[in-house]
Amino acid sequence: MENKSFEEALTELETIVKELENGSVELDKAINKYSDAMKLVKYCSDKLNNAEEKVNKILTENGNLEDFEVKE
């Protein structure tokens, strides 16, 4: 899964959700799909958290990364 982009993982997750919502999946397959969906949710969540951390950092003039703070 590490080679997937966020968008690919999200599309796969959406496909699984639609299949499960349809209700035509056999129970054993539904359980496997649910498990796969939970892995995709975690992967997407981790990717978003990582992106958020990167956005919250800015490069200072001396090249050090510092936390970004909005000053009002």
Q: What is the pLDDT of residues 7-39, one digit of tens each?
A: 999 999 999 999 999 998 999 999 999 999 999
Residue 20 lies in a domain: yes
Residues 6+ apart with CB under 8 A from 16: 33, 34, 36, 37, 40
- The answer to whether 33 and 20 are in contact (CB under 8 A) is yes
Backbone dihedral region for residue 8 (phi beyond 0: left; psi -120 to 50: alpha; all else: beta): alpha
pTM of the full structure: 0.74
Domain that holds residue 33: 6-67
Count of structural domains within the chain: 1
Stronger pLDDT, 58 or 33, i.e. the higher one: 33
Say which CATH number the domain at 34 has.
1.10.287
Residue 26 lies in a domain: yes
